[in-house]
Amino acid sequence: MRRRLTLLVAATTGLVLLAFLVPLAVLVRQVAADRAVGRADNVVRAIVPLVGTSDSSELELSLSGASAPVTVYLPDGRVLGAPAAPTAAVRLASAAGQSFTVDGAAGREIVVPVVTAQGTAVVRTVVPRAELTRGVVKAWLVLAGLGVVLVLLGLLIADRFARTLVAPIADLSAVSHRLARAELTARASPGGPPEIREVAGALNHMAARIQDLLRHEREQVADLSHRLRTPLTALRLEAETLRDPGDAARLAAAADAIERAVTAVIREARRRGAARPRTGCDATAVVTERVAFWSVLAEDTDRGVRRELPAAPLPVAVPADDLAAALDALLGNVFAHTPDGTDFAVSLVARPAGAVLTVSDAGPGFPESATRRGVSGSGSTGLGMDIARQAAETAGGTMRVESGRDGGARVVLELAGPLTSP
């Protein structure tokens, strides 16, 4: 914008100067020529009265003292003053009895006829071309220099003016980028024209509003955690009263999982608004632990579980909590959207850029539209698939929903590998 404004002012100033200086340059040349012709004409007018009233010796003396070369052609054919052959203008002036000013190769010729008792004499002088343009080049150079100075001055003023416009806009852009990087304390400095100051105020108001909303959200999440502690404590106490140690352990583990999930939500809410470091985990360990957890429920509902997990650790650029939440969401969908007795499979395989986690089942399947946040066909919140998608995409991966070979659902999470130090 600054460059465009400067170029616009330069073009405008240049056109204005051309419209002013070109006619002025022509006028300077015309004035110089008129001044030279006027001086020569004055010399001729001073000689004319002497032609008919003075003798030849006095006329010769006057011609020799003239400031310009003057030639007098007498009626008897004699030529006094500067020697020069009669020209066509001289002959025409003698015959017609009229004065002429003619442009020739040598310059501008001035001829004036004088009627005497012996006949018509002609007084002639020539203004050289150098005299017609004396001082013109110097004047043109002065005008050109003045034009350059005016253009440079206009560019300087335009640059200063453009800077006052661009600086507030650049500040707005920088603050916008800082807000996009979750630096919610960034504020724009109101400056520049009223319109830009209004935009800066609106941006600051929006940033403050976002801060208030996030603060309110964190307070809501903290309040949710406080409300859940009492039911979780009661659930643990209830688990301790169960006679079957296995059931008690599973119930306690479920309560611990809920508490971990709530704690993760609170931690995520508290660090929201700050840059989140990318951490990784061992996908083999996380998937193995979560499949083992869900296998107990699968056994109770007569579901077969097929596992294809690597024996070696498989690092990925997804935090352990996020990967566990994503897998829980996918397996939870299997139990929620397929009838009891439906088998499912979980596979984890390595790839050059990370790993591929696949969850498939032998159920009726579901459309790809179910991956949209809040979309569910069974009355649930529809957030499970979105949790899995965010876990993959946040770490640079992707999620795909496909149809399995037996017609069931097949969800593929492509997980990026861990970051390496440069």
Q: Provide the residue type at 290 as one letter.
A: R
Q: Please count the other Cβ atoms lying within 10 Å of the Cβ belonging to residue 207.
A: 20
* Radius of gyration of the chain, Cα coordinates, nearest whole angstrom: 51
- Decide which of 311 and 65 is more confident: 311
**pLDDT of amino acid 379:** 46
DSSP 8-state class, residue 369: G
Q: Is the pLDDT of residue 242 over 60?
A: yes
Rounded to an integer, the average pLDDT of 79-91 is 85
pTM value?
0.47
Q: What is the mean pLDDT of residues 385-411?
A: 84
Which of 72, 90, 68, 88 has its CA nearest to residue 80?
72
Confidence of residue 46 (pLDDT cuts 50, 70, 90): confident
Query: Which ranges constitute the DSSP H helices of 348-416?
Result: 384-394
Q: Write the pLDDT tens digit of every residue in 279-331.
A: 788 999 999 999 998 898 888 889 999 999 999 999 998 888 889 988 988 99
Q: What is the pLDDT of residue 305?
A: 93
**pLDDT at residue 419 is higher than 70:** no
Give the mean model confidence (pLDDT) for residues 184-190: 87
User: CA 232, CA 256: separation in Å to the nearest integer?
Assistant: 8
Angle among Cα 254, 260, 262 to the nearest 5 degrees reads 105
Confidence check: pLDDT of 369 > 70: no
CB 298 within 8 A of CB 306: no
C-alpha dihedral sign at 223, 224, 230, 232:
negative
Q: Give the least confident one: 93-97, 222-226, 278-282.
A: 222-226
The CATH 3.30.565.10 domain(s) of the chain lie at 278-416
Contact, 282 vs 314, CB < 8 A? yes
Task: Confirm or reject CATH 3.60.21.10 for domain 278-416, answering yes or no.
Answer: no
> Is the pLDDT confidence value at 59 over 70?
yes
- CB neighbours (10 Å) of residue 373? 12
Residues in the chain, how many?
422
Is the Cα torsion angle 190, 196, 201, 203 positive or negative in sign? negative
How far apart, in Å, are the Cα atoms of 183 and each of 178, 189, 203, 231, 301?
5, 16, 13, 37, 49
Question: What pLDDT, on the 0 to 100 scale, is given for residue 404?
Answer: 77
Higher-pLDDT residue of 105 and 20 is 20
Start-end of CATH 3.30.450.160 domains in the chain: 2-136
Provide the mean pLDDT of the chain: 82
71, containing H or E segment: strand 70-73
What is the mean predicted confidence (pLDDT) over 355-359?
Answer: 93
Q: How confident is the model at residue 272 (pLDDT cuts 50, 70, 90)?
A: low
pLDDT of 373 above 60: no
Residue ranges with strand state E in 344-408: 344-351, 354-361, 398-403
C-alpha 187/C-alpha 210 separation (Å) is 12
Ranking 138-147, 180-189, 377-386 by mean pLDDT, the lowest is 377-386
Q: What is the pLDDT of residues 103-158, one digit of tens each?
A: 877 788 888 998 887 888 888 888 888 888 888 899 999 999 998 998 888 888 88
261 has pLDDT over 80:
no
Rounded CA-CA distance 239/246 in Å is 10
Please give the share of the chain, as a percent, with pLDDT higher than 90: 14
Fold for domain 2-136?
Beta-Lactamase (3.30.450)
Predicted confidence (pLDDT) at residue 266 exceeds the cutoff of 50? yes
pLDDT band of residue 53 (cuts 50, 70, 90) is: confident
Between CA 218 and CA 244 the distance in angstroms is 39
Question: Which is higher by pLDDT, 235 or 226?
Answer: 235
